[in-house]
Amino acid sequence: MSFLALAKVDYRARLERAELLAQQYPSAQEVLTFYGHILRFQSDLYKRLPTLLAKQSAGAREGLRSEFDAGFLLDEFQGFLSLLELHGPGPLSDHSRQLKRRGDAEWRRSLAEFWTTGLIKPSANPLTEFPARAFLQPYAELQVSGQLPPVLPMTVCRCPRCNALPVLGVLRPEGDGGKRFLQCSFCSQEWEFRRILCAHCGEEQEQKLPVYVAEQFPHIRMECCETCKHFLRTIDLTKDGHAVPLVDDLAMVPLSLWAQENGYTRIQANLLGT
C-alpha cells in the first residue's frame, strides 16, 4: 500500500479550474462561482495560519482530531460567516447570519466539535456543518502537509490520518493504466485503494460493482455498489490530466441527479452537496 503525500495546497490551481469549469458547464456555474469565493478565503487563511499558530500555546498546534481551543481562529471565522451571509445561497446565508449572532462561545464550540468528530460519519445536516467544514479545511490540509505518510498494511475505507470518510476517488496514471486512490473529505489526503472493492461495504465481486461513465463527462467514473447501493465518484486523471479532483467533482451536478434517480447514495457528500 502507498500513501500520496500532500504537498503545499495550490489554491490558485483550484480557483483557475473552478473558473474554467464554470464556463464549460452552465449547470454548475452558480455552484462554482460561490466556490470561488470560498477558495479565495481559504487561500488567504492557509497563508496566514502559520503566523496565527505561532502565537498559540503548544496545545493549539496539536494534530488532526486532537482537542483544541479554537479561540485563535474566531476573528477569522467571523469574517467567514460574513462572506457566507453575503455570497451564500439563501438557506446558507440565513444560517450564517443566525450563527454570527450567537457569538464567540457558540463559534468556539462548533469549530472544536467539528475538528474532533466532523465527517467521521455521513453528515446529518450538511447546512449546519458547512461553515465549520469549509472554514477548517485549510487548517486540516496544513496539518497533514507537515506530517510523514503513515504505513498502510492493508486497504482501508477511512482516511488513515483522521478517520473521515472518503469524498471521492482518483485514478492517477501508472504504467499503462491507473492506480486508484481515495481522497479524504476532511484533510484532502489521498491513500491507495484496490481497484475492485467497494469503498463503503467492502464488496469484492466485480459483477456487483458496476461503473458508469456519461458521454459528456468522459473523465468521471460513477463507481457503484449493488450490495450497499452506495457510490463513489472518481476523477480519472488518465483521461484528463488537467482535472483538479476536488473541483471537477463539484461540477458534476447532473451525475448526482442520475445517482439519486437510480437509488444510489454517496458515501460522503462533497463540500457543496453536488
The domains of the chain are located at 26-145, 166-266
Residue 126 is predicted with a pLDDT of 86
State pLDDT tens for residues 115-149: 999 999 887 788 889 999 999 999 999 988 877 66
Which distant-in-sequence residues (6+ apart) come within 8 Å of 172 by Cβ? Answer: 4, 178, 179, 181, 237, 238
For range 65-72, the mean pLDDT? 86
In terms of residues, how long is the chain?
Answer: 274
Give percent above pLDDT 70 in the chain.
Answer: 92
Residue whose cell numbers read 447501493 = 229
pTM, 2 dp: 0.92
Distance linking the first and last C-alpha atoms of the chain: 30
State pLDDT tens for residues 201-222: 999 999 999 999 999 999 999 9
Single-letter code of the amino acid located at 234? T
Provide the β-strand partners of residue 89. Answer: none
Residue 46's Cβ-side half-sphere holds a number of Cα atoms within 13 Å equal to 21
State pLDDT tens for residues 158-177: 999 899 999 999 999 988 78
Kindly indicate the confidence band of residue 154, based on its pLDDT and cuts at 50, 70 and 90.
low
Q: Are 23 and 36 in contact (CB under 8 A)?
A: no
Q: Which three cell numbers stand for residue 216?
A: 459528456
Q: How far apart are CA 15 and CA 12, in angstroms?
A: 5
Helix (H) or strand (E) holding 222: strand 220-224
Q: How far apart are CA 108 and CA 59, in angstroms?
A: 15
